[in-house]
Amino acid sequence: MRRVIETGKVPVKLWTNEVEPGAMEQIMNLANYPFAFHHIAIMPDCHEGFGMPIGGVMATRGVIVPNAVGVDIGCGMIAVKTSLAGIERKILETVTREIRSVIPLGFEHHKKSQDIKYMPDLPVADLPVVRREYESARHQVGTLGGGNHFIEIQQGNDGHLWVMIHSGSRNLGKQVADEYNRLAKALNKKENIKNTWEKQLAYLYTDSEEGQRYIREMEYCVAFAFANRSLMMDTVLGILDFMVKGPVEETDRVAIAHNFAALEKHFGQEIWVHRKGATPAFKGMRGIIPGSQGTESYIVMGKGNEESFSSCSHGAGRVLGRRQAVRHLNLQNEVERLEKKGIIHSIRRQKDLDEAPSAYKDIHRVIRLQEDLVDVLVELQPLAVVKG
């Protein structure tokens, strides 16, 4: 931990000394939130979000806050260690092209509805938004999305080739988030608690019908996001197996979400821990902290630090907003930086600079700032990157 702010209703514990003004305003909104429990934890990848900063952890008693989970419910990571020690560049280029042709990217979906076996095996009868969006979601399962979502082939310092995927619940999660944030806002207006809905932190009581329904729909989206990543991973491993003339065996798998709320016990009480762009880091739990497409990613082991509600960062964190990066970064410089490292990257045009390495914080510093939260197990160097 780097510092503590004690001017709010509850303290703020920060694992960074650098917080942009917009994010700091949101942090102080959390610190003065009427239902905040014990303290607010801010991870080293913190940057401004919507209502709550990305890289924030807030615990509450009696309420759940849709915007403290975010619109991409269940967004997270999956990484697989393969039996391959390495791969030839020509084969890697072919693998990358095949991934782009088989897995829908950005706003694209499957043209055909996917087999129901790929969907979460959970009841949907009492989940109105999920039920409404179910058939659409069957076209989205196994698709990457855009923004900072990616598929990477990586070389581990353990001598093995890894595959890593970052993606979420696609439009399903957004529909659930938007629906229940609207509902929470309307209910909060009736109670006239302005510093909840006016700060984009509208809540639902966890013992209410609406709160219980949101929790069930949120949990379905978390399961859907996991299924989405798993299907893409199986597809990528199949492509690798075919291209290297196999067999490519999976020798280890790590999977974890970083946008969700969960009922947990901390400081002697059961509370709802909201992690918005923060990764669970319970003692002995393995997690994933990705860098940018030009820097290392890490497999880590949690230390179970209660001061962070057993959490760590979910990535490097942005240092430039998307529009800011596109306006100010130099396309040639960013491409040369990646190609100098021999990375098969995803920067082709000026608009792709929103995901350039220079738009992100220094991942090495981010890892150092949370040495009391996690231990590094494996360092992974990017070889090829696919983005939406």
> Which of the 8 DSSP states describes residue 8?
S
Catalytic residue among 314, 328, 345, 364: 314
Residue 286's DSSP bridge partners are 301
Name the DSSP letter for residue 344. Answer: B
Check the CA dihedral 76-81-84-85 and report its sign.
positive
Residue type, position 297, single letter: S
Closest C-alpha to 386, from 350, 352, 336:
352
Q: Which residue has the tokens 């219980």?
A: 212
Contact present, 295 and 319 (Cβ < 8 Å): no
Q: How far apart are CA 14 and CA 27, in angstroms?
A: 10
Indicate if the alpha-carbon torsion angle 114, 119, 121, 122 is positive or negative: negative
Task: Tell me whether residue 345 is one of the annotated catalytic residues.
Answer: no
CB 293 within 8 A of CB 358: no
Half-sphere exposure of 114 (CA within 13 A, CB side): 22
Terminal-to-terminal C-alpha distance of the chain: 35
**Is 185 in contact with 201 (CB distance < 8 Å)?**
no
Angle at 357 between CA 356 and CA 359, to 5 degrees: 70
Q: What is the DSSP letter of 293?
A: T
**Closest to 133 (Cα-Cα) out of 175, 168, 178:** 175
Q: Which two tokens stand for residue 386?
A: 């696919």
Q: What tokens appear for 15 in the block?
A: 């694992």
Residues linked to residue 129 through DSSP beta bridges, in sequence order: none
Indicate the length of the chain as a whole number: 388
Q: Which of 276, 266, 272 is nearest to 310 (CA)?
A: 266
Residues annotated as part of the active site: 314
